[in-house]
Amino acid sequence: MELSELEVFDRFRPILNIEKKEYIPAFRFKNKDEKWKPPVYPDYYDGYALAADYYDQIRPHAEKGFFPESLFAKRAPNETPSETEYIRENFQQITLSVFKDYVDTNGRATHRNNWSIKFDESSQYKNELSLEYYLNHLPEWGSLEYFNFKFLPPNKYQDAEGVVVIMPQYIPTEDVNGEVIISQTELISPVPRFYHCTSVVHKSEDLYILKSDEKSDVLYYDKPEKMGLVFYAFTENVIYRIYQTGKLIDFEFAIEIFWQHDTGIVPVKTVGGLSTQIDNLTIQMSPFMYAVDTLNDVLIDASMLRGIKAMTCYPFRIMVGDPCDFEIKVDGEPLNCSGFGYHVINNNRVTCPSCHGKGMKDRVSPYGTLLIKREGNVESGDGIDPTKAMYYAAPTAEMPKLIREEIEYGLRKTYDTLHMKRMETGATGGTQKTATEDLSDQKALMASIEANTRQLFSLFKWEIEVIGKQRYGEAFVAPSITEPVRYDLFIESDDLKKISDSIAAGQPAFVIHTLIYNYLQKLYYNDEQSKKIFELISTTDNLMVLSSDEINQRLSRNIIASWQVVLHDSAINLVNNLIAENPDFLTQSLTEQREQLIAAAQAQAATVPQGGSTALNAAQDRINSIIGQS
């Protein structure tokens, strides 16, 4: 049942009370020396605080420029305030590369070669008005594919409780007899947007309310200023705008209909992650959360290492000195520091301006020479070995080495946790994994990526449906989408290396044949016709894994027939000819297709002169190059 405007505003009232409490302290200027305090998240709904906390925990490793206050709020034992400040000012997010690798690894499954989309051509909207054109020229993003598979994933992995919202940038209007109405000629242009969980202030099956970055006009010191809060409420058929009005300090809000879309779909969807249940609360959590604790250790260790490196490069200098004898005059009376570091003036201690309270002065000359008194006939001298008069105190090299090993250990552990491959170096000290361990990691990674990819395609289909219904209404026809069915993360060069290594190792023909078949299937499975063609060829061409020399030897000994060579050399041309003669060729059973392909090869072999050969096309050349044929 559709919510009324009054019912929507009634659900907004608890949010208004929370916002009022949170908003008023914003006028108070923060004390410069005020210590950082852990954030206290508003209680908008069950799970809001936990979702916001999960998001904040991942941000130091995913968001450039985000400083993890919670990790450095308390100083380490023996750490001085100046050292703490040095760490803060020189903090580097060395774990960002891990998050990037995680994004890139998951992104390989949604490569454009791994899926396809086919739009309905019978729609009444053609060319630039078509759904295909609009999704490929999407305002703000360029294309829906870019938004969903490039922009969205990093945000999804940071914040699994974040949401995608579909709504128009503006509502086109026209003037009809002096009345402004929604345009009857211009199509609505809905676009997707991502909002972090911290912007979602209400969520239920029939209503979402989001806090916008937009600002409304309010009176501030009797002058209109864009300082008011703006919220958007989304129901199955209406989008409402709730905005602050009147005086800023009065905190009054009004509600209006932004657009009545009548799609029957709430245009807000959680991006999702791993479903986690805590007591009676079910919440979405990013799989990256499992690596956060280890990455926090890496950040702390890296900051310590940076501090130790500074102490090593700029060590403490320890040397002999003399008591400070700086003298000042107060009312004509001389006052000497006398090694105390202060002067007593009017019964008050005043720090010596020369030694700054140290009570000592150094003996370094203007040219950097340390002067030592030599022993004379009367004076005893300093009685110190000049080679020991000055030395430097710095941490040993063992400590930086230990911390660097801890950092490398943490990074290796993180990659293992996420089942990702990492380029190992000689400095890592890690042990080489066995083939069984590699296979186990690969399967675990593929399982994780498969779940994430299914979520992304579910979002993609939902986005298309909502955009289509908001833009075209009942005229919307959903396109056909072929999702990835294989999640083999090896890239093309990996597959070619497998095939090459198998041939060099003398593996059985069926092993090489399987590798080639898997490679071709991965390349062409998203194109239904290409998939059928290569399935036909791979099951009919018995010479696929043989080199040219091996084929010639077997042909000369009459082990194979000439038509088999013709089929091997010109399979794709033969299939294309069969399709040209019969457009329904690929709809027949595989057995019928094979019989007709063999018959076509036999017919062509009868016309080829003895010792002749058919020309190879580009695709067949590629197959031959894979197995090393000349």
Residue 565 falls in which region: left (phi positive, over 0), alpha (psi -120 to 50) or beta: alpha
- pLDDT at residue 408 is higher than 50: yes
Question: Mean of the pLDDT values across residues 446-471?
Answer: 94
Q: Which pTM was predicted? A: 0.70
User: Residue 371's pLDDT band (boundaries 50, 70, 90)?
Assistant: low
Q: Are 226 and 212 in contact (CB under 8 A)?
A: no
Asked if the structure places residue 251 within a domain, the reply is no
What is the number of structural domains in the chain? Answer: 3
DSSP count for the chain of H helices, then E strands: 18, 22
- pLDDT at residue 189 is higher than 50: yes
Name 77's Cβ contacts closer than 8 Å, sequence gap at least 6: none
Out of 19-28, 338-347, 476-485, least confident range: 19-28
DSSP, collapsed to helix, strand or coil, labels residue 610 as: coil
Distance of alpha carbon 217 from alpha carbon 225, whole angstroms: 5
In terms of domains, do 359 and 507 share one?
A: no
- pLDDT at residue 205 is higher than 50: yes
- pLDDT at residue 127 is higher than 60: yes
- pLDDT at residue 516 is higher than 90: no
- Using the 3D structure, point to which of 470, 488, 506 is the last residue of a domain: 488
In terms of domains, do 449 and 388 share one?
A: no
In terms of domains, do 438 and 309 share one?
A: yes
In terms of domains, do 535 and 618 share one?
A: yes
DSSP 501: H
- pLDDT at residue 285 is higher than 80: yes
Question: Mean of the pLDDT values across residues 506-532?
Answer: 67
Out of 73-77, 81-85, 276-280, 558-562, least confident range: 73-77
- Using the 3D structure, point to which of 465, 488, 511 is the last residue of a domain: 488
- Using the 3D structure, point to which of 348, 371, 393 is the last residue of a domain: 393
In terms of domains, do 402 and 513 share one?
A: no
Distance of alpha carbon 605 from alpha carbon 608, whole angstroms: 5
In terms of domains, do 474 and 619 share one?
A: no
In terms of domains, do 336 and 376 share one?
A: yes
Residue 361: which H helix or E strand, with range?
Answer: strand 360-362
In terms of domains, do 408 and 467 share one?
A: yes
Asked if the structure places residue 65 within a domain, the reply is no
List the one residue out of 254, 251, 241, 219 whose CA is nearest residue 20: 251
User: Residue 406's pLDDT band (boundaries 50, 70, 90)?
Assistant: very high
Q: Are 16 and 8 in contact (CB under 8 A)?
A: no
Q: Are 44 and 15 in contact (CB under 8 A)?
A: yes
Asked if the structure places residue 564 within a domain, the reply is yes
What's the pLDDT at 332? 81
In terms of domains, do 529 and 544 share one?
A: yes
What's the pLDDT at 506? 73
Residue 558's domain comprises: 490-626
Return the structure tokens found at 556: 């000369």
Return the structure tokens found at 192: 């997707």
Question: Mean pLDDT, the chain, as a whole number?
Answer: 84
Count of beta carbons in the 10 Å neighbourhood of residue 497: 12
Handedness of CA 80, 82, 83, 89 (dihedral sign): positive
DSSP 386: G
Instruction: Indicate the burial class of 612 (C-beta count within 10 angstroms; 0-12, 13-18, 19 or more).
Output: exposed
| Tens of pLDDT, residues 211-251 | 999 999 999 999 999 999 999 999 999 999 999 999 999 99
Percent above pLDDT 90 for the chain: 44
Measure the N-to-C terminal CA separation of the chain; round to a whole number of Å.
70
Percent above pLDDT 70 for the chain: 81
- pLDDT at residue 439 is higher than 80: no
Asked if the structure places residue 551 within a domain, the reply is yes
In terms of domains, do 552 and 470 share one?
A: no
Asked if the structure places residue 401 within a domain, the reply is yes
What's the pLDDT at 432? 57
How does 106-141 read in b/e, with b if 16+ C-beta sit within 10 Å? bbebbeeebbbbebeeebebeeeebbbebbeebeeb
| Tens of pLDDT, residues 34-49 | 567 788 899 899 999 9
The winner for highest mean pLDDT among 254-263, 490-499, 552-561, 612-621 is 254-263
In terms of domains, do 562 and 506 share one?
A: yes
Strands 173-176 and 274-278 turn out to be: unpaired
Question: Mean of the pLDDT values across residues 362-389?
Answer: 63
Asked if the structure places residue 325 within a domain, the reply is yes
User: Residue 546's pLDDT band (boundaries 50, 70, 90)?
Assistant: confident
| Tens of pLDDT, residues 80-91 | 777 778 888 888
More confident residue, 449 or 76: 449
- pLDDT at residue 509 is higher than 70: no
Asked if the structure places residue 519 within a domain, the reply is yes
What's the pLDDT at 178? 80
User: Residue 115's pLDDT band (boundaries 50, 70, 90)?
Assistant: confident
List the one residue out of 423, 527, 433 whose CA is nearest residue 112: 527
- Report the greatest alpha carbon distance in the chain: 127
Out of 49-63, 296-310, 502-516, least confident range: 502-516
In terms of domains, do 473 and 565 share one?
A: no
Asked if the structure places residue 58 within a domain, the reply is no
